[in-house]
Amino acid sequence: MALCGTTAANVTKMMAAYNGGSSAVAAHHPHHHHHQLQHLPPPHMHHHHHHQQQHTHHLQQLDIEPDRPIGYGAFGVVWSVTDPRDGKRVALKKMPNVFQNLVSCKRVFRELKMLCFFKHENVLSALDILQPPHIDYFEEIYVVTELMQSDLHKIIVSPQPLSSDHAKVFLYQILRGLKYLHSAGILHRDIKPGNLLVNSNCVLKICDFGLARVEESDESRHMTQEVVTQYYRAPEILMGSRHYSNSIDIWSVGCIFAELLGRRILFQAQSPIQQLDLITDLLGTPSMEAMRTACEGARAHILRGPHKQPSLPVLYTLSSQATHEAVHLLCRMLVFDPSKRISAKDALAHPYLDEGRLRYHTCMCKCCYTTSSGRVYTSDFEPITNTKFDDGFEKNLSSVRQVKEIIHQFILEQQKGSRVPLCINPQSAAFKSFIRKVQSAFDPPYTTIWQ
């Protein structure tokens, strides 16, 4: 991508438009133009267009590229395909084994409803859902989403140089998407670099809602601990807390922020207990108050060990990009006590992200636009949802057959009034190859470690 340079005029107009957050946008040096932000090279992609449009019962058949799985989510596999209606490449997510049991049904229906609910530039949403077969043959769900070229994990481990401008614009978009999700009452519960999709123009979208759920306001209701890839797992989950909030996502973002700065995983442990030990090596021994929700075994493990002093200044050694502002924000995210961890909204108001905001809204976003007289900025740089995501539909789901019928009807309703529905041609060689290679790849089952 060639990100446009930010000029004094842009800074002034943006300051006038930005009503929330920090006015430190003015600290942007208005006397010089920012250098162009280096394009991120996309991974090898096939440029194959499907011009032959076949009609089967008024459905368009989807042309699947047979040899290109582009990613594995918590529950499902994603493939790069061509939409025959316009020849555009899109991503196709297959949700397998949907109707194995009631828990699986509910989880898939929740993810499907979320993907259709989301309307935000930094959150992946459903563009379409493939036409389901007759309900007696309905076993899998295929969701079409925008095709992104890479993800943050691939970029971090690549030799691609990443400037502080990259780090700022990536972190800004992660927090912008997360503020939106949290405003909808949704906990992602698996924020990690591989679930942050990125295009070569540096636009970023949060994806994979296979583990997402609505926040639980009742602290007496237990929540599953089988969440979050270990390296990005918040200390309260590691310590067996039965209840947690959206601050678990902020911890994950802090780990990713440090990884962007240092190009290595911040807490890379071999086991959950060692993961906790690495965290306390950096943050010091937590207070009893900070461990109030931990299970007894986890508390005993901490108290048995030596008392540790915090060693947060070591964060300055991550790289030359670990400036005072960067480390200050990072330390607000990597807080042991979840109630004292910064929120996505407050993190976005931190001066470190002023340049990321300016860069994103000057030439990357779709919410602002350029006219002959200059850039017209949106009135709301970090929008939230007007309505919370409602998971009330789950309470009345009581059998696999019932959920199957409801999902089948939901998909048909989503397609009303939209374009010609898509279906899969099950006889094609490409589809047979696709089915052979489909598998689900996720962490082994999580077991409680404090018993």
Q: Could you tell me which of 230, 237, 215 has the C-alpha nearest to residue 275?
A: 230
284 against 421, higher pLDDT: 284
Lowest-confidence segment of 41-50, 181-190, 205-214, 330-339 by average pLDDT:
41-50
Work out the pLDDT band at 219, boundaries 50, 70, 90: low
What's at 123, amino acid-wise?
V
Work out the pLDDT band at 423, boundaries 50, 70, 90: confident
Distance (Å, rounded) from C-alpha 201 to C-alpha 368? Answer: 16
121-160 pLDDT per residue, tens: 999 999 999 999 999 999 999 999 999 999 999 999 999 9
Look at residue 220 in the predicted model and tell me its pLDDT: 61
Region 175-192 average pLDDT: 97
Catalytic residue numbers read: 190
pLDDT for residue 63 is more than 70: no
Vertex 2 angle, CA 354 and 369, to 5°: 65
Tokens describing residue 398 = 């009581």
In three-state form (DSSP H/G/I as H, E/B as E, the rest C), the secondary structure along 73-134 is ECCEEEEEEECCCCCCEEEEEEECCCCCCHHHHHHHHHHHHHHHHCCCCCECCEEEECCCCC
183 against 394, higher pLDDT: 183
Backbone angles phi, psi at 78, to 5 degrees: -115, 135
Work out the pLDDT band at 233, boundaries 50, 70, 90: very high
3-state helix, strand, coil in the chain (%, to 5): 40, 15, 50
Tokens 């990100």 sit on residue: 3
pLDDT for residue 177 is more than 50: yes
Q: How many CB atoms lie within 10 A of CB 76?
A: 26
345-372 pLDDT per residue, tens: 999 999 999 999 999 999 999 999 999 9
Look at residue 85 in the predicted model and tell me its pLDDT: 87
3-state secondary structure of 153: helix
| Strand positions, DSSP E, 223-292 | none
- Stated length of the chain: 451
Vertex 151 angle, CA 21 and 210, to 5°: 85
Domain 61-147+396-437 bears CATH identifier 3.30.200.20: yes
Look at residue 434 in the predicted model and tell me its pLDDT: 65
Look at residue 71 in the predicted model and tell me its pLDDT: 57
Work out the pLDDT band at 422, boundaries 50, 70, 90: confident
Give the CATH H-level superfamily of domain 8-18+161-376: Transferase(Phosphotransferase) domain 1 (1.10.510.10)
Q: Could you tell me which of 79, 87, 91 has the C-alpha nearest to residue 53?
A: 87
pLDDT for residue 442 is more than 90: no
> Would you say 110 and 407 are in contact if contact means Cβ atoms under 8 Å apart?
no
Look at residue 96 in the predicted model and tell me its pLDDT: 76
> Would you say 104 and 97 are in contact if contact means Cβ atoms under 8 Å apart?
yes
Region 115-122 average pLDDT: 97
367-403 pLDDT per residue, tens: 999 999 999 999 999 999 999 999 988 888 999 999 9
Q: Could you tell me which of 92, 89, 64, 62 has the C-alpha nearest to residue 78?
A: 92
What's at 171, amino acid-wise?
L
Look at residue 57 in the predicted model and tell me its pLDDT: 36
Distance, first Cα to last Cα, the chain: 51
Distance (Å, rounded) from C-alpha 305 to C-alpha 194? Answer: 34
Region 231-253 average pLDDT: 93
CA atoms within 13 A on the CB side of 55: 3
Binding residues, as ranges, are 93
3-state secondary structure of 202: coil
- Across the chain, mean pLDDT equals 83
Distance (Å, rounded) from C-alpha 191 to C-alpha 250? Answer: 9
Range of 85-89, 176-180, 429-433 with top mean pLDDT: 176-180
Distance (Å, rounded) from C-alpha 219 to C-alpha 217? Answer: 6
Which residues, at least 6 apart from 44, have a Cβ–Cβ distance to it below 8 Å?
none
Look at residue 62 in the predicted model and tell me its pLDDT: 55
pLDDT for residue 42 is more than 50: no
Look at residue 22 in the predicted model and tell me its pLDDT: 38
Which pTM value belongs to this model? Answer: 0.84
Work out the pLDDT band at 18, boundaries 50, 70, 90: confident
pLDDT for residue 33 is more than 70: no
Backbone angles phi, psi at 329, to 5 degrees: -65, -40
Q: Could you tell me which of 93, 74, 279 has the C-alpha nearest to residue 194?
A: 74
Binding residues for ATP, as ranges, are 93
> Would you say 180 and 344 are in contact if contact means Cβ atoms under 8 Å apart?
no
Q: Could you tell me which of 100, 150, 176 has the C-alpha nearest to residue 365?
A: 176
Look at residue 17 in the predicted model and tell me its pLDDT: 67
pLDDT for residue 69 is more than 80: no
Backbone angles phi, psi at 221, to 5 degrees: -90, 125
The domains of the chain are located at 8-18+161-376, 61-147+396-437
Work out the pLDDT band at 228, boundaries 50, 70, 90: confident
